Amino acid sequence: MKLFFPRAYIDGEIRTDVLVTADESGTITAVECGTPPAPEPAAPVPAASVPAAPGTSPGFPTGTSSEDIHVFTGTAFPGAHNAHSHAFHRLLRGRTHDDGGTFWTWRQEMYAAAASLTPQLYREVATAVFGEMIEAGYTSVGEFHYVHHAPDGTAYPDHAMERALAEAAATAGIRLVLLDTCYLQGSIGKELAPEQVRFGDGSIDGYMRRHASLREALADFSPLVTVGAAIHSVRAVAAEDLPRFAELDGPLHIHLSEQPAENEQALAAYGKTPTRLLAEAGLLSPRLSAVHATHLSDDDIRLLGDAGVHIVMCPTTEADLADGIGPARALADAGAVICLGSDQHVVLDSMRELQALEAGERLASGQRGRFSPAELITALTQSGASALGLRSGIAVGCPADIVTVEHASVRTAGSRGEQVVMSATAADISAVIVAGRVRRSRPKGAEQDSLGRLYARFFKEE
């Protein structure tokens, strides 16, 4: 398959007349710049409309021969990687704002939503959520999944909840990294509460056995569905069990210091911060992704930076839950790798997450430009992919996971080069390509409304 983009963000700069060739596996085999398309090229392929059958391998129909050249508008960027998602939290959108409250009262609403899930319902919900992610410009998602069992803790046969997520991803056409989450205690030193029982595996050995069998159970969804591991938090897994996660391969994620109460509990029980606990368990490395990392000491920041840990900020969720503004710039300067996730999906918009990260830094510091557009794009693309054990880029050997952003909408008209990511929203994502297959495309000019055309008259292409 050949894909032509009038502009593409490659190696930190905008290149023009870019022709990308991908093989049948969806891997980029050639990138040519300064190459105009052939006369009368094929029209853009519409997003695949026939979902994969449940339980089948998630192949995507191309609808075109490998010799066709498909022309897109706007500027191409590597696909956005959503490094932290709880699909079922989407059920809470617009339903938790009437009584104020705290993170902890919000959590009761979350437990009620989790209690309602069956494998069939989870598949339906996740299919919609993953489809919304495609619309928002995400080409992959790290699903931080802990609703493993029936409400009474009974195991479903054949990993039914996990297969529901894999089937949903196959139907939506998104790349899924299933972050199989360990959740063994209700808080430090306390048993699981009744509403948490379905999350647990009884013991760390129980988790390890189930995790090992899960990889085999989802093998038929490979290569677009892979499995990683996660520790819910140091509240949910005892300190003595943390070193066991060094036995596992692949990405490892954890909620870290999202709330001051988590730090207080860890200090009271262990005399150490959550970050220090992870360090002493031998888990700080580039393999680890710390989600939120909002309330950190200077020593925590140094430890995370020295180890090159990935930090997954979820700005719209952290704002919605009043978590606070995490020290993103300080972490990046210390050597940590900043990524982005949508967490509870209070909105699903890859551009808004990127913009919110930068806006939080402005508000916390009183300074503009604490993160450059190039750094923000890297957080959303290359760094997010790295956190999930994936590759990202419009380059030979990378998967052809690409999105295009329009430059002439009412929101983006006049934006210079890659700065379009500072003005765009998900409404300006005109095409989404996963593994070389177009999962979403809009007719040329569909987003160039009358106001956008009027604005565009005042700006020249730069």
Q: What is the pLDDT of residues 259-284, one digit of tens each?
A: 999 999 999 999 999 999 999 999 99
What percent helix, strand, coil does the chain show, rounded to 5?
Answer: 35, 20, 40
**Averaged pLDDT for residues 144-163:** 96
CATH code at 80-392: 3.20.20.140
What's the confidence (pLDDT) of residue 93? Answer: 87
Active-site annotation, residues: 292, 343
Residue with the two structure tokens 């209700």: 186
Residue 161 vs residue 36, higher pLDDT: 161
The pair of structure tokens assigned to 295 is: 């309330």
Residue 382 pLDDT > 60:
yes
Residue 307, pLDDT > 50, answer yes
Look at residue 354 in the predicted model and tell me its pLDDT: 97
Q: What would the DSSP string read from start to end of 29-91? A: EEEESS-PPPSSPBPPPPPP-SPPPTTS-------S-TT-EEE--SEEEEPEEEEEE-GGGGG
The average pLDDT across 29-38 equals 86
Q: By the 8 A CB rule, do 381 and 8 touch? A: no
Torsion of CA 307, 230, 341, 357, to 10 degrees: -40
What are the φ/ψ torsions at residue 433 (nearest 5 degrees)?
A: -120, 125
Q: What pLDDT score does 59 carry?
A: 34
Identify the pLDDT of residue 306.
98
Per domain, the residue ranges of the chain are 2-38+70-76+399-446, 80-392
**Which of these, 254, 253, 257, lies nearest to 294 by C-alpha position?**
257
Look at residue 462 in the predicted model and tell me its pLDDT. 40
For range 223-236, the mean pLDDT = 97
Across 430-459, average pLDDT: 68
Q: Can you give the pTM of this predicted structure? A: 0.90
Average pLDDT over the chain, rounded to an integer? 90
Give pLDDT, residue 448: 41
CATH number attached to the domain at 2-38+70-76+399-446: 2.30.40.10
